[in-house]
Structure 1
Amino acid sequence: MTTGRRLFSALSVALLAVGGALNAVPATAAPPGADPDTPWRMRHWPQTQPWQVDEVVALGGGPAGAPQPIDPQRYELPDTMTWDDYRAVPGTDWADPAVRGSERTFNGALVLVDYPNQPFVVTQPANSTIYGNPSGVQNLDRSEVPAFYRDFLNTPGTLNRGHTIHEYWMEDSNGRFGIDLSAFGVYQMPHASHEYGIENSMQRGLGCPAGDVCGRDLRADARAAWIAAVGEQEAAAYDFVFFLSAGQDESATWQEFGQMKFTTKEDVSEEFGPPDAALPNWNATRYVEWTSWQASANIWPNATQGSSLQAESSGMSTYAHEFSHILGIGDNYNNPYGVPARRDYSGPWEMLSRGTFNGPGGPHSRWLIPGTAGASMGAQHMLRNKMKLGIVDDDAVLKLSRDALAQSGVVMTRVTARAVDPGGRRLAGINVTLDGGDRSPACSPATDPYCDGGGYQNYTLEVVDRMGFDSFTPDSGVLLAKTKDADAAPFIWTIDANPQDIDKVDFVLPDGTPQKMTIGDYRQLSDALFHAGTGSGSLFEYTDTANRLHFYVLDRKRDRHGVLSYQVAVRSLDGAGPSTRGVRASSAGARPGPSGWARCTIPIRNTGRDADVFRISAPGAVLPREVVGVAGRQPASVEVYVKGVAKVPVEVRSESNPRARAVTSCTVRR
């Protein structure tokens, strides 16, 4: 029999084998070398600021004088992240419970329930369960559990590293929405935990022990117990309810304690089997044929109007995800193991997709109790959902339309990272309405895993930076997506700048065989962001010919406060607008450096009245940028790197009017 402690160790080793490093700091202790009395923001602020590292990497890494990418992609899989990846948003302290939402602070009830056969795991000895839990917090008295989980979820402290549900919503909404929690319970349910956890939609009618009644309504029984204790009048004072169930949740255990632990369903051990000897040790689960019976018997987090259901292993992001449903937005994710396969919809970039899983250790660390790893620091909402929730100002979103772009010509602007308040003159993003609907050619998800299904009404463009709750997203860059007005999944479809199979190991099977990420795995979108310039490992432009739109990522900037922004542009393929387009360019010369490269800086000027995007070409040369944006009547410059030749021609051509062009040269002086 595998003990809980050995299981915890074995799974940790398996995760480490594929780069999934779990944070080994005891959950109740300060990080090594930290003074426990030091304010938590100071403990977790790095000595080198993230933008300093960012710029050094972007500008270095090659021979002196050699051409370098201006915005190299450096994505990281969620599995390898640790708490050291967290970066605070400059100038904010959204976790401060004294700071209220400017529009609303929601008043929530946290109602805790346990079972005759399942006490709260944090009341048990360390690593004593078959899952190797609890970790770091143990032997609490039952009476202490409500206050413990209330504080773990919503009071900044050492265990939660200062991060709370209130902080998530304050950051995501730029201070509009906050959350207060009051705890109630613990109330014991009248039936065994598996009678609530095993239900027809996921277990397909299988696995219910003889004499038991499965598929019971946990929410109804929990609410009844709460009402009996506090009364209808007290319960009615709360805006919503989080029901917290003792034990694991199935979402966080079906894979880790199924195919990751056992080679076949017949290999599932008695320890992970049912209390009924007539039943097999495996059972059906949501996404694949089988998991261990014990994993299948755990509740699956879910939400209905006004309330949600979680378990002890549900990380803080699970609560943020479910609260999004309470506010009226649906799920936007696929079955990563479905047949036929289908690519994930919005991946790690969106709370209502698999961004819920973000946090140190990634998706396979979500079974820890308490939930201090994966699903502890979920992604912000993407622009479409922020607009629907009303948590971004109208004037912070540049609203365009396909038809209007054909009349106006190219639009160029700067978009700020979404973790930062877009107050003042900053933009949170762009929304382009597809007048008349999506014109993409028909495709079938049954035969094409990359088929978006069609029927979209908009494009959105926003900037993601790895800071705040986006610290555990895989990359910083420009996020482009197609969206629908209604929540008909997929209602956000991320445009993948690297659509090819990411070809990474997901986990190692019990027999030692590496298991690659499926085409449907959300981490396939880890390298989806667009980057400025050439040679980044990503794309700097995207053309949707059917929908007659061309998007550009032109330049990247990080200001002295560390705020990331991108200069971007979008134009119609059906019209350049009334503005006259023109460009001038002058020749330049340069001497080779020690690396043998000569760098010419070519002066150019947009002679047109309005902003324009220019495409640069120089056969035989290396161009850090192939497209540049220049304001009307303004000068700019482009760099051309030449090696081994004396002279190369350089052409600068308007994207709006290809007839508006200038030809010059880069000459190498010896």
Structure 2
Amino acid sequence: MLTARGLGSVMSTVLLMVAGGLAVTPAGAAPPGEVDPETPWRARHWPQTQPWQVNEAAALARPGGGPQPIDPQRYELPDTMTWSDYTKVPGTNWADPAVRGTERNFNGALVLVDFPNQPFVVTQPANSTIYGNPSGVQNLARDDVPAFYRDFLNKPGALNRGHTIHEYWMEDSNGRFGIELSAFGVYQMPAESHEYGIENSMQRGMGCPAGDRCGRDLRTDAQASWIAAVGAEEAASYDFVFFLSAGQDESSTWQEFGQMKFASKDDVSDEFGPPDVALPNWNATRYVDWTSWQASSNIWPNAARGSSLQAESSGMSTYAHEFSHILGVGDNYNNPYGIPARRDYSGPWEMLSRGTFNGPGGPHSRWLIPGTGGSSMGAQHMLRNKLKLGIVDDAAVLKLSRDALAGSGVVVTRVTAREVDPGGRRLAGINVTLDGGDRTAACDPATDPYCDGGGYDNYTLEVVDRMGFDSFTPDSGVLLAKTKNADNAPFIWTVDANPQDIDKVDFVLPDGTPQKMTIGDYRQLSDALFHAGTGSGSEFEYVDTANRLHFYVLDRQRDRDGVLSYQVAVRSLDGAGPSARGVKAHPASARLDRSGWARCTIPVRNTGRGDDVLRVSAPGATLPRTVVAVPGGRTSSVEVYVDRASKVAITIGSESDPAARTTTSCTVRR
């Protein structure tokens, strides 16, 4: 078994999961309870829960016979995922290097650099570093390292499980963008590694050993060494550069080898301290007050000037994340430990948020070298960023506006999972423009951690399925978000269908105390997706009263090829459109079955001229769904489950016109 010195049971468990693919019971298998419907934040956005709805959810959730949820939420926290969670996208082989991007194949240079005090970790014996690395690959010759990392990142093989950067971009862009890499180096830098890793922006001027010059620009020195070796003309022929430096990166070590390993900053051992005995063994870091000096001295991955910096522990997703910056999209994440607390922006669903951390083992396995755990298979980009990057066809996105919806009436459509190429036949998502701007009441992020900050330009709706690179997202379902046109973070704000505290343990402190996930932790959004029907553990509708919009998740379907899609709808609260609305329903009867339930199938006809969403209520009965879409002039049906009463009244009404409603009944035959 792979081990890391002194990290204890939490890290050992992570290593077992990543290396061995052991089955682990999903921590999120049981969705958390309902939040108080009187909470003001929630009340602004969801219709008030009625008593019969609460009873219905309880009935649908009961084990054994009787009605069951039509789309139960079974989210899984990233921490418990293993390689067994991976599911291939049907009908594709995006990792094939012979398949090029249809619009552009980017030609990149992978430039490797090491330091006088830090050789490449994969050239050292297994588990020999203070971090317990390398794992799985060791004792490579220095001259073999460039080819090794080029192939690990971009050639399908056993170590990377057949997954590559080229595959990520081909899948994310539905075949439009491909990546090729050529490797150069290794070039030794003129200064020691900590002189590049300790910088004013994160270490706040602290921790530089006497006689050293910290805050050096690694990109500048690495670029100079590369150009000196290959010439300016050769260097200029590449579309972008990935600079890969020897050792760990700070992003993946500051917590694991800081507060997770040491009880306090004064407990940091000499092994994790600086070479200068006059300095303390701890140092400042980005998100919290302290980490071990060694962790603080590592570089932090970043992108600038057509290039990015990574280290050996930077998983493949880090490269995809930084390449997104090279293509012109900014970061969209918070400080999960900031004071005051603020909820994460787009969480595990977006590459430019914490979806970068996705991969087997979750966020606390990102320190492995090579990077085969967390951060090895990041999330796709959300619809807003795909539109900005030009990797989804305009024709595959239904573009609506708030004002136009008031004139047209409700729009009902089917959206296909984002992992599957729409091919011009399927819809990849919906974008609703907020004409005239975001009308949400002002709130203060300093006092309300759930405040989105306002100023949004659109809503987007898309479907996520756990397949391909999204295999390591926590759930499959409907993803709803508010977005801005400019990269002014937060420029994507995921609408959380379960905004209550997820109440899960993040890690165990050195003294054995469980540390819960903070309100700002991105995993709070693991249960954010919307699901169809009632009793799912999630929500099937969302109302933004201020912006006068109502979204519905109506039905879920998976076809014979395994492709997931949802029937969804959106309407304006300010206008139902020109179509006449009407509804008729007929009574039905049923006998009690052996489980003690009677199921009535009620025929419902939309007598109006256009598509409509109908709401069903039946006090004393259980309904698998309470909203259904029926095309104009067509008949559908709704199911009603009764377990006691001999006759139950059922009311069905148009969401577009409250006056268009009818009442019928379900009679139980004994």
TM-score when normalising by structure 2: 0.93
Picking from 7, 19, 22, the partner of 1:11 is 7
User: What amino acid maps onto 1:148 in structure 2?
Assistant: F
1:242-262 Cα offsets, whole Å, 9 max, x none, are 000000000000000000000
**Aligned position for 1:426:** 426
Matched, 1:508 2:508: yes
Name the amino acid aligned to 1:342. Answer: R
Give the aligned residue type for 1:544: D
Distance of 1:5 and 1:537 partners within structure 2: 37
Quote the offset at 1:633 in angstroms.
1.1
Residue of structure 2 equivalent to 1:22: 17
Cα 1:63/1:326, change in 2 over 3 Å: closer
The SS at the match of 2:223 is: helix
Q: Distance in 2 between matches of 1:368 and 1:546?
A: 46
Q: Could you tell me which amino acid in structure 2 is paired with residue 268 of structure 1?
A: V
Deviation at 1:608, TM superposition (A): 1.2
Partner residue, 2:389: 389
Deviations 1:423-477 (A, max 9, x none): 1320000000000000000000000000000000000000000000000000000
**Structure 1 residues 486-529: Cα deviation after superposition (integer angstroms, max 9, x where no partner):** 00000000000000000000000000000000000000000000
Kept in 2, the 8 Å contact 1:126–1:133? The answer is: yes
Q: 1:20·1:80 contact (CA, 8 Å) conserved in 2?
A: no
Measure, in 2, the Cα distance between the counterparts of 1:270 and 1:5.
24
Secondary structure, in 3 states, of the residue corresponding to 1:24? helix
Q: Deviations over 1:578-630 (max 9, x none)?
A: 00011110111111111111111101111111110000000000000000011
Write the mapping of 1:50-199 to structure 2, written as runs, cut at 5 A. Answer: 65-199=65-199
1:301 is matched with: 301
- Mapped to 1, the partners of 2:143 and 2:66 lie a distance apart of 65
Cα deviation, 1:266-312, whole Å, max 9, x if unaligned, reads 00000000000000000000000000000000000000130000000
User: In structure 1, how many angstroms separate the alpha carbons of the residues matched to 2:453 and 2:581?
Assistant: 38
Query: Residues 642 and 15 of structure 1: is their aligned pair in 2 closer, same or farther, counting only changes over 3 Å?
Result: farther
Q: Where does residue 257 of structure 2 map in the other structure? A: 257
Alpha-carbon separation, structure 1, partners of 2:8 and 2:298: 21
Indicate how the Cα distance of structure 1 residues 616 and 20 shifts in structure 2: closer, same or farther if over 3 A, else same.
farther
Task: Report what 2:596 is aligned to.
Answer: 596
Q: Secondary structure at the residue paired with 1:247?
A: coil
- Paired with 2:304 and 2:335, the residues of 1 have a C-alpha distance of 21
How far apart, CA to CA, are the structure 2 residues paired with 1:444 and 1:510?
Answer: 35
- Deviations 1:334-375 (CA, angstroms, capped at 9, x unpaired): 000000000000000000000000000000000000000000
Structure 2 counterpart of 1:415: 415
Task: State the match for 1:610 in structure 2.
Answer: 610
Structure 2 residue aligned with 1:569? 569
Distance 2:177 2:459 in 1: 26
Q: 1:5 to 1:82 in 2, by over 3 A?
A: closer
How far apart, in 1, do the equivalents of 2:594 and 2:434 lie?
Answer: 51
Deviation at 1:62, TM superposition (A): 6.3
Counterpart position of 1:581: 581
Could you tell me how far apart the structure 2 residues matched to 1:514 and 1:604 are? 53
Matches within 5 A, 1:317-396: 317-396=317-396
The residue aligned with 2:438 is 438
Matches of 1:651 and 1:444, distance apart in 2? 41
Q: Deviations over 1:186-224 (max 9, x none)?
A: 000000000000000000000000000000000000000
Deviations 1:528-563 (A, max 9, x none): 000000000000000000000000000000000000
Q: Using a 3 Å threshold, how does the CA distance of structure 1 residues 519 and 652 change in structure 2: closer, same or farther? A: same
Partner of 2:273: 273
1:632 deviation in Å?
A: 1.4
**Are 1:12 and 1:22, in contact at CA under 8 Å, matched by a contact in 2?**
no
RMSD of aligned alpha carbons: 1.4
Instruction: Name the aligned partner's letter for residue 181 of structure 1.
Output: L
Task: Work out the CA distance in 2 between the residues paired with 1:352 and 1:6.
Answer: 31
- Using the aligned pairs only, state the percent identity: 82
Residue 5 of structure 1: CA displacement? 7.3
Asked if the contact 1:554–1:569 (Cα under 8 Å) also holds between the matched residues in 2, the reply is yes
> How many pairs align?
633
Query: What is the CA–CA distance in structure 1 between the aligned matches of 2:131 and 2:556, rounded to whole Å?
Result: 45
1:16 to 1:641, Cα distance in 2 relative to 1, 3 A: farther
Classify the secondary structure of the residue corresponding to 2:4: helix
Separation of aligned partners in 2, 1:21 and 1:386: 35
Q: Which runs of 5+ in 1 are unaligned?
A: 26-30, 33-59
* Distance in structure 2 (CA, Å) of the matches to 1:465 and 1:323: 24
Structure 1 position 539 matched with structure 2 position 535: no
For 2:274, give the aligned amino acid.
P
1:644-663 alignment, distance < 5 Å: 644-663=644-663
Equivalent residues of 1:187, 1:226 under 8 A apart = yes
In structure 2, relative to structure 1, the CA distance for the partners of 1:141 and 1:150 (3 Å cut) is: same
Kindly indicate whether residue 613 of structure 2 is the aligned counterpart of residue 627 of structure 1: no
Structure-1 residue corresponding to 2:36: none
> Matched residue of 1:99: which SS?
coil
Q: Distance in 1 between matches of 2:599 and 2:95?
A: 48
Contact 1:5 1:128 in 2 (8 A): no
Matched residue type, 2:614: F
Conserved 8 A contact 1:506-1:517? yes
Q: Give the corresponding residue for 2:244.
A: 244
Match of 1:495 in 2: 495
1: CA distance, partners of 2:2 / 2:417: 42
Kept after mapping to 2: 8 A contact 1:355/1:379: yes
Amino acid at match of 2:203: Q
SS in 1 for 2:7: helix
Which whole-Å CA distance do the structure 1 matches of 2:65 and 2:209 have between them? 72
Q: C-alpha displacement at 1:635, in angstroms? A: 1.0
TM (normalized to structure 1)? 0.93
Question: C-alpha separation between the residues in 2 aligned to 1:20 and 1:335?
Answer: 26
SS of the residue 2:470 aligns to: helix
For 1:5 and 1:77, the matched residues in 2 are separated by: 22
Q: Deviation at 1:20?
A: 8.6
| Alignment-derived partner of residue 284 in structure 1 | 284
Alpha-carbon distance in 2 for matches of 1:360, 1:614:
42
Tell me the alpha carbon deviations over residues 88-138 of structure 1, each in whole angstroms, 9 at most, x when there is no partner: 000000000000000000000000000000000000000000000000000
Aligned-partner SS, 1:228: helix
Query: What is residue 54 of structure 1 aligned with on the other side?
Result: none
Q: Secondary structure of the equivalent of 1:102?
A: coil
* Secondary structure class of the residue paired with 1:379: coil
Q: Distance in 2 between matches of 1:356 and 1:21?
A: 21
- Aligned to 2:185, the other structure's residue is in SS state strand
3-state DSSP class of the match of 1:101? Answer: coil
CA distance in 1, matches of 2:287, 2:508: 19
Q: Secondary structure at the match of 2:551?
A: strand
Partners in 1 of 2:16 and 2:640 — Cα distance?
A: 42
